[in-house]
Amino acid sequence: MRILLVIMIINCSCQSFSQNVALNEEAAKTFKASIDNHSLVGLGEEGHGYESLNEAKSFLLEFLHQEFNFNSVIFESSFTECVISYLNNDSLNNRLRNFLYPFWNTISVQNSLLNYYEKEKVSKQPLILACDIQEDCRFNLLSGYLIKENIIRSNKNKLNECDSILSLYIGKNFSKKTPISNDEFIRLSSNYNFISKELEDLKNIPDVKHKLLLRCLVNRELLCYYLTIRDVNERMHYRDSLMADNVMWLKNEFLKNMNIVLWAANTHVSKQNSNDRPRWLGEWLTSSLKNQYYSISFQSQKRFSSNHDRFTENCSIKYPDDSHNRFDAIIYTDKKIKIKPQQWVTPCN
C-alpha cells in the first residue's frame, strides 16, 4: 500500500487535526516521495517530557490515521499492562493511565488516539498496543485479571507469590538496581510455567484473548530473566530485542497488512547502520522488515540550518545523506516545551 506523508501535519503548536497549517508544497512533495512504500513508521524523540514533541508526533499520528489508513500504533510502554487494560474494556482515559508511560500521557497524545480507539471498538481487535518488556507499579494488573476472571484457579497462590517477589524488584519505576537472584528466578520461572500450562489447557476462552494472555505470560517470564541481568548495556540490548519480537508478533498475529506507527525514543527507533548484530529495537526491525521500515527523529533546534527543508514556520526537515545514518528523516522544532506539572500523569505516585 502506498504511504504518503504530507508535511502539513508537522506543526509543533497544533492542538487538533482540523487546524489549518501553512506548508511548503515543494518540500511536502519531496517528503512524500522519500517515504513511499513503507508500512511501519517509527516516531522517535530526543528526550522524554517535552509537550512540543508530543504535539508534533500526535498530529502526525492523527493525520496518518485519517488520511493514509494507519490503523495501529505501538508504544514503547508495557505490553502486558496494555493488553490487560484492553481486555478489561477500559475507557481510553483509563487505558492510557493503566499502561502508557507518564511522559506521553498528555492531552495531545490522548486526542490523537481517539479515532484509533473508536475503530478498535468497531473492529473488536487491539489497535492501540505496546511492546516493552518492562513493567512498573501497574504490574499486578495481570494477576488481578487472571484471578478476577477465574482464568487461573489451581495456581492462584503461585500468581500471588510471583507478585510478592516482583514487587521487591520493580517498585515504582525499576528503582531498585539489585538483580533478581538465581534462586528467585528459578522459582518465578517454575511458577509461570505452571500458570501458562493451566492457561494453555483452557478450551472455553476466545481465541484473541487466549493468544494475548499467553503472550503476556511469555513476556512476564522473559521480564524475570531480564531482571537477573547485571550489566546495564546487556540488559538494555536484551530488552530491545524483546520489544522487536513483540512488534513482529503483533504484526503477524493481529496487524497483518496494516500500516503501523511505532512511538518510542530516538535510540529505540533508530535504524541499523552497520553489519553488526542488531542491538536496538529499530535495528532489529530493519533486519526483519528491510525496506518497509522508515525511521523519523523529532528534535528541537533553535535555528534551522540552510540544508533543512522548511515545512512550516516552526518546523523543518533534514534528510541525512549518509546511507548508513540511523534516521531516514529528522524533523526539527524551533523550541522545547516541557510538560507542565498538571499535565503529568503519574500513576505510580
Read off the pLDDT band of 14 (50, 70, 90).
Answer: very low
Question: Which has the higher per-residue pLDDT, 28 or 188?
Answer: 188
Cα–Cα distance for residue pair 216/213, rounded to 1 Å: 5
For the stretch 48-87, pLDDT in tens is 888 888 988 887 787 777 767 889 999 999 999 999 999 9
Question: Which has the higher per-residue pLDDT, 239 or 344?
Answer: 239
Task: Report the SS3 class of residue 108.
Answer: helix
Cβ neighbors of 121 (< 8 A, separation 6 or more) are none
Instruction: Cite the DSSP H helix spans in the chain.
Output: 25-34, 51-68, 79-87, 92-99, 107-112, 114-123, 141-148, 156-170, 182-200, 207-226, 232-253, 266-269, 281-289
Read off the pLDDT band of 277 (50, 70, 90).
Answer: confident
For the stretch 324-344, pLDDT in tens is 688 998 888 777 788 876 677
Burial class (CB in 10 A: 0-12, 13-18, 19+), 304: middle
Average pLDDT, the chain: 85
Residue 242 has pLDDT above 80, yes or no: yes
DSSP secondary structure code for residue 332 in this structure:
E
Q: In this structure, what C-alpha cell is assigned to residue 152?
A: 487461573
Burial class (CB in 10 A: 0-12, 13-18, 19+), 295: buried
Say if strands 309-310 and 40-43 run parallel, antiparallel, or are unpaired: unpaired
* This prediction's pTM: 0.89
Cα–Cα distance for residue pair 41/284, rounded to 1 Å: 14
- For residue 177, report the phi and psi dihedrals to the nearest 5 degrees: -90, -10
Cβ neighbors of 345 (< 8 A, separation 6 or more) are 96, 97, 102, 105, 106
Burial class (CB in 10 A: 0-12, 13-18, 19+), 204: exposed
Q: Which of 21-30, 123-132, 201-210, 219-228 has the lowest mean pLDDT?
A: 21-30
In whole angstroms, how large is the CA radius of gyration of the chain? 20
DSSP 136-189: -GGGGHHHHHHHHTTS--TTHHHHHHHHHHHHHHHTTTT---PPPPHHHHHHHH
Instruction: Cite the DSSP H helix spans in 76-113.
Output: 79-87, 92-99, 107-112
Q: In this structure, what C-alpha cell is assigned to residue 183?
A: 534462586
> Among residues 164, 230, 162, 239, which one has the least CA distance to residue 196?
162
